[in-house]
Amino acid sequence: MITIYSTFRSFKHKRYREIQVDAINSWLQLDPKPQIIILGDDEGTKRVCRQRGFLHIPKIKVSKAGTPYVNSMIDTAEAHAENDIMLLLSGDIVIQQDTIDAAKAMSKNLNEFCACARKVHVVKRPNGQFKHEKWATWQAGDYWMHTKGFYAGMPDFLIGRHLVERWMYRWACNKNGLVDASGVISVYHQNHPRDFKPKNKERAWNREMWEKNYFEVEKWKDHSCYEKNQLYNIGINHANWVLKPDYTLVDNVDPVRNFSQEIS
């Protein structure tokens, strides 16, 4: 039905190990079971993939700091995928069966799409249950369910760094394929310590990585996915379509999609 692909942090860090194992366990509970492809070679990844039966592809394009390029992840995963519906997840995201139900509904109505869902930040209680902390912003992206080939030709963006999510939203909108599935799909992000911090509100978390993604955006100024100032304000709530709780797909008539009125 779907192919999940992701990359992991080192399993040496106790907190990251626990979070990633929780995420993995949730992926394996889906029915039908997804194909799972893990990219990269951080410590412990090979062992986990062998134990869980995941397809492990250690070699992908990374920056000098070791950060994976999203376009390399997408192209590599699609080349090895057994399914036409792909799901790019962060390694700390817990999902539920509604992912499969949503995939079935959207594939019946759209030939190509990218479905995203607003994530909820959670913490794990001693009894194993998750406590909801707060909703993430509409721009945050850790869940990208897309048809194979949807992001063909994507620039060299670094994963988890400034601008990449905005570009992906904008690209999907221009293809009339962005679906807001926040009312259906459960996306739980487990809180964890950050390994980088912003220096101020104007500067992104890691200057070198931010500048790389910004440079790629500047090269696309004349492309149809880029319009002045609009890339920076886009999020899931600008979707072309909304997946309702009854799994029907409707046109998004929310005025927030009207970029010309929203951005001066």
Looking at residue 108, what is its pLDDT? 94
State yes or no: pLDDT of 197 exceeds 80. no
For the segment 123-132, the average pLDDT, to the nearest whole number, is 66
For the segment 144-161, the average pLDDT, to the nearest whole number, is 89
CATH of the domain at 6: 3.90.550
C-beta atoms surrounding 215 within 10 Å = 12
Q: What is the pTM of this model?
A: 0.83
For the segment 160-171, the average pLDDT, to the nearest whole number, is 80
For the segment 71-81, the average pLDDT, to the nearest whole number, is 97
Task: Take residue 133 and report the two structure tokens written for it.
Answer: 């902390």
Total number of domains in the chain: 1
What's the CA gap between 230 and 258, in Å, rounded? 11
Range of the domain at 210: 2-262
Reference 74, options 91, 87, 62; nearest CA is 87
What's the CA gap between 84 and 105, in Å, rounded? 14
Q: What is the pLDDT of residues 92-127, one digit of tens each?
A: 899 999 999 999 999 999 999 999 998 887 767 666
